[in-house]
A and B are shown apart, each in its own frame.
Chain A
Amino acid sequence: MKVLGLETSCDETGIAIYDTENGLLAHKIYSQIAQHAEYGGVVPELASRDHVRKTLPLIDEVLQEAGMKKSELDAIAYTSGPGLVGALMAGATIGRSLAYALGIPALGVHHMEGHLLAPMLEESQPEMPFIALLVSGGHTQLVRVDGIGEYRLLGQSLDDAAGEAFDKAAKMIGLPYPGGPHIAALAKQGNPESGLKFPRPMTDRPGLDFSFSGLKTAFLTAVHEALDEARCDEQFKADAALAFETAVVDTLVIKCRRALEMEGLKQLIIAGGVSANQRLREQLESQLKKINASVFYARPEFCTDNGAMIAYAGAQRLVNGQSSELALSIRARWPLSELPPLKES
């Protein structure tokens, strides 16, 4: 089954074609990041306007790259939530009506299920059950995955998502949006012996929830102190970036390890924009080795929003006969646990 996947939940237009027999055939991503950077974050109205312009041309490009005619598509999957309603609407209207015109089934896909399954597009894949850390600008969740659609939320952020914390911290030291990659780049110049240390929130108490709001405040306080003492120079910013990144990474690693131990599992996947963070990957690999566990992740371009993960996740359900009606159901909020399990046929 050849499935066209459309992802338009935020500021990336991602289009791909996944074939259940031959794997990923083509994929393209158009990022609006540069456009939103001027505003210090995603402007939903601008994002929606851009998706309506970019989606169809990208579909055409992807068909060409795959050497396919649109009539050869067997199904269409589009992100129907969670995300920005206006942005989601662009992909849903185009995807659903294109499927109608072609006379093929379509399915609204859960954005986080897409992220969760993205590592399955790689050669080295985990076997279920496993633990997933979903970590992006909008989510920080630990989920136990027993099968497709069989998800149990183990813990999540009680306030800011990890990626959001990166964005906000970056802003506080004058770095552009999105903050994660900029903080990580600057942290490379940081001195690990600078003496700056931020808290690892909620690691000293049981459970698998996260909180990044206090860490953000601690960071702001340190920046203010440096400003007051006239030592907020480039070296300070690099040291602060390193201390902040280390604090977020340590917190995530501690909770991932704890989740694996509590559930008695040996495989972890990490997905979402923050999973592209190199320090997080290195720390997880070295820490999980100590408990004989392994970590899996998608290639960097499939960590951030993309169409391939939506085509893949959609395909798993579409081949089992699931599909969406003509009424377009969009959900800005949509708990992963509400997804139906995949019934093996």
Chain B
Amino acid sequence: MATILALDTSTQACSVALNIDGVVLEDFRMAPRLHNDLILPMVDQILHQAGLTLSNLDAIAFGRGPGSFTGLRISAGVVQGLAFGSDLPVIPVSTLAALSLEGFQKTGQSDWLAALDARMGEIYLGGYRISKVDGQYDVTLLIDECVAKPAALSSFSSQFNGVGSGWCYADILSALLPDSPAHVLTDLSPRAACIAELALLHYQKGEVVSSYDAIPTYLRDEITWEKQAPRIGKR
């Protein structure tokens, strides 16, 4: 088993968790725009509460995205500093997988189309199957993560439940499924407890990276910023 610290600041929620040999401890707060104030004190507090220091950890995990760019970088930056300073490996975890796990925990349903509002009329989307056998989770990626306009998506051949803020487009997304989804959990946000659960699976498979590679997965990478060659006589 292992002891893993997990952070998530990918949405308006700010959360930290400890996974101590499968027992998960979490501090979850809705804190729009306060992540930078809260995140390190929350890390300090949860370690203190568990009677641990960074030297007792085996790895540090974070919600690597998709999500708010600034939010993702807050976790990535904090994790880089913590992991580099204490010589620990890092486990980047998908926020969409974390949402799917939360959907599973709430309903027992396995297949989830997790979606986060990406603004500009787009959503971040990914499909996951969650199962639990003998107390051990298993996660399978069913639909590759992407950023897309909901109306531009093609139909899905299998059935899913819906989770995440991206289901504000529930009408459009439901119409792409064979049947209307049994569960649509729009209010759930990625949370560190789920990141910590998934991190343990990655850790057991040896899926860790160095502190250098604690980098967000933005999904929206194509350059939307207009290139401007200087033009003579123009401001």
Contact = CB atoms under 8 A, between A and B. Distances in A.
Contact of A43 (B85, B215, B225): B225
Nearest to A217: B235
Interface string B196-227: 00000000000000011001101000000111
Contacts of B212: 56-57
B219 to A, nearest CB: 13
Given A56-B212, A101-B85, A174-B230, A89 B40 contact: no
Contacts, number: 140
B211 A70 contact: no
A325 B211 CA distance: 23
B84 A70 contact: yes
B105 interface: no
B232 A94 contact: no
B235 A168 contact: yes
A98 B54 CA distance: 11
Contacts of A173: 230, 232
Interface stretch (B71-79, B108-116, B160-168): B71-79
A102 B88 CA distance: 13
Interface string A55-97: 1110100000000001000000000000001100110111111
Contacts of A92: 36, 77
B81 A328 contact: no
B232 A93 contact: no
B37 interface: yes
Contacts of A85: 70
Q: Say what secondary structure dominates the interface of chain B.
A: helix
B135 interface: no
B85 A86 contact: no
B134 to A, nearest CB: 36
Interface string B164-178: 000000000000000
A40 B228 contact: yes
A138 to B, nearest CB: 19
B84 A328 contact: no
A330 B69 contact: no
Contact of A97 (B82, B216, B218, B226): B82
Interface of B: 36-41, 43-44, 54, 69-70, 73-74, 76-86, 211-212, 215-216, 218, 225-235
Interface of A: 38-41, 43, 45-46, 48-49, 52-53, 55-57, 59, 70, 85-86, 89-90, 92-102, 168, 170-177, 220, 223-224, 227, 232, 325-330
Given A93-B76, A99-B85, A325-B41, 17 more contacts: A43-B225, A45-B225, A89-B74, A89-B77, A90-B73, A93-B36, A93-B73, A93-B78, A94-B80, A94-B84, A96-B81, A98-B81, A100-B43, A172-B232, A172-B235, A328-B37, A328-B40
30 contacts: A40-B228, A40-B230, A41-B228, A46-B225, A48-B70, A52-B73, A55-B77, A55-B80, A86-B69, A86-B70, A86-B73, A90-B77, A92-B36, A92-B77, A93-B36, A93-B78, A94-B81, A97-B78, A101-B81, A101-B84, A102-B85, A170-B230, A171-B234, A172-B232, A172-B234, A174-B232, A223-B233, A325-B41, A328-B36, A328-B37
